[in-house]
């Protein structure tokens, strides 16, 4: 019986080792192709980054960039945004989905930044999430891009890719986030969510994934991949 237990333990250890090697190879390939991936939202400073990410909920980055070009030209600080006022902000972002609620959130978060954080974008997840319109994903994006924190921001693309390949699986974005933090090698963690988001946006798409163009097709375990 002890021999059986030892064999099972050895098999389990081998499986863990194989999975770790697979994950490392996936991110090594992403890094080799694109060593310094960038987010696709335009911004001028940490404050405008925060505003842009808040505006990007249920909207395309390209659409947000078109709207914020004029907005950030006149309001690139919390004080300027507050002075601009909700009506004017709403007018400048009216091409974005949910623009009324977003305009209200942007003005209110600007007021709170002035009142609570000396006009500075806070550097903790908890403080960021206390601001209007800022959820966990938004907070993680800001921490990662503005402050170089090794966070995982789980959007719909990353959630799909991580569950599909699979890397870390989970029924909620937070579960996937925590799973990825546990398995992604530290040297790849800073850019991990950028690679996965871009992979999901342009290759591993929801309806018609471009499997023949996939850099990691041989490492993907998704049973429905095609043309590989």
**What average pLDDT is seen over the chain?**
92
User: How many other CB atoms are there within 10 angstroms of residue 29's CB atom?
Assistant: 14
**CATH number for the domain running over 25-38+152-219:** 1.10.1670.10
Which residues are CB-contacts of 77 (< 8 A; sequence separation ≥ 6)? 47, 119
pLDDT in tens, 24-41: 999 999 999 999 999 899
Condensed to tens digits (0 to 9), the pLDDT of residues 86-134 reads 999 999 999 999 999 999 999 999 999 999 999 999 999 999 999 999 9
Nearest to 53 by CA among 116, 121, 111: 121
Mean pLDDT across 37-53: 96
Report the binding-site residues. 204, 211, 214, 220
Sequence-distant (≥ 6) Cβ neighbours of residue 191 within 8 angstroms:
30, 31, 36, 37
Q: What is the pLDDT of residue 91?
A: 96
Average pLDDT over residues 48-73: 96
pLDDT at 5: 32
Q: Strand, coil or helix: what is 62?
A: helix
Q: How many CB atoms lie within 10 A of CB 36?
A: 8
How big is the chain by its Cα radius of gyration, in Å? 21
| Helices marked H in 75-155 | 78-84, 86-92, 99-117, 125-129, 136-147
Where in the sequence of the chain do the CATH 1.10.1670.10 domains occur? 25-38+152-219
Chain centre distance of CA 181: 13
pLDDT tens digit sequence for 135-184: 999 999 999 999 999 999 999 999 999 999 999 999 999 999 999 999 99
Residues of the chain with CATH 1.10.340.30: 46-147
CB 9 within 8 A of CB 17: no
Residue positions annotated with a catalytic role: 137, 155
pLDDT at residue 95 in the model:
95
CATH topology of domain 46-147: Endonuclease III; domain 1 (1.10.340)
pLDDT at 13 over 80: no
> Using one digit for the tens of pLDDT, what is the confidence trace for 182-222?
999 999 999 999 999 999 999 999 999 999 999 999 999 99
Annotated binding residues for [4Fe-4S] cluster, as ranges? Answer: 204, 211, 214, 220
**Among 82, 153, 76, which residue's Cα sits nearest to residue 112?**
82
**Tell me, what's the pLDDT at 225?**
84
For the entire predicted model, the pTM comes to: 0.88
Residue 63, class by beta-carbon neighbours within 10 Å (0-12 exposed, 13-18 middle, 19+ buried)? middle
């Amino acid at each position: 019986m002890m021999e059986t237990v030892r064999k099972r333990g050895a098999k389990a250890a081998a499986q863990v080792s194989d999975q770790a090697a697979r994950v490392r190879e996936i991110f090594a390939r992403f890094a080799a192709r694109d060593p310094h991936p960038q987010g696709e939202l335009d911004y001028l400073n940490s404050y405008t980054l925060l505003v842009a990410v808040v505006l990007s909920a249920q909207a395309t980055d390209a659409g947000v960039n078109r709207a914020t070009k004029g907005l950030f030209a006149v309001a690139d600080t919390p004080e300027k945004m507050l002075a601009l006022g909700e009506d004017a902000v709403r007018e400048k972002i009216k091409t974005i989905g949910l623009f009324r609620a977003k305009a209200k959130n942007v003005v209110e978060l600007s007021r709170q930044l002035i009142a609570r954080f000396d006009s500075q974008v806070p550097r903790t997840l908890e403080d960021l999430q206390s601001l209007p319109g800022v959820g966990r994903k938004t907070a993680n994006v800001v921490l990662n891009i503005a402050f170089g924190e090794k966070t995982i921001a789980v959007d719909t693309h990353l959630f799909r890719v991580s569950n599909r390949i699979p890397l870390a699986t989970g029924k909620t974005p937070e579960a996937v986030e925590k799973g990825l933090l546990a398995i992604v090698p530290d040297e790849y963690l800073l850019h991990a969510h950028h690679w996965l988001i871009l992979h999901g946006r342009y290759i591993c798409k929801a309806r018609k994934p471009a499997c023949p163009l996939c850099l990691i097709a041989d490492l993907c375990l998704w049973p429905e991949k095609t043309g590989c």
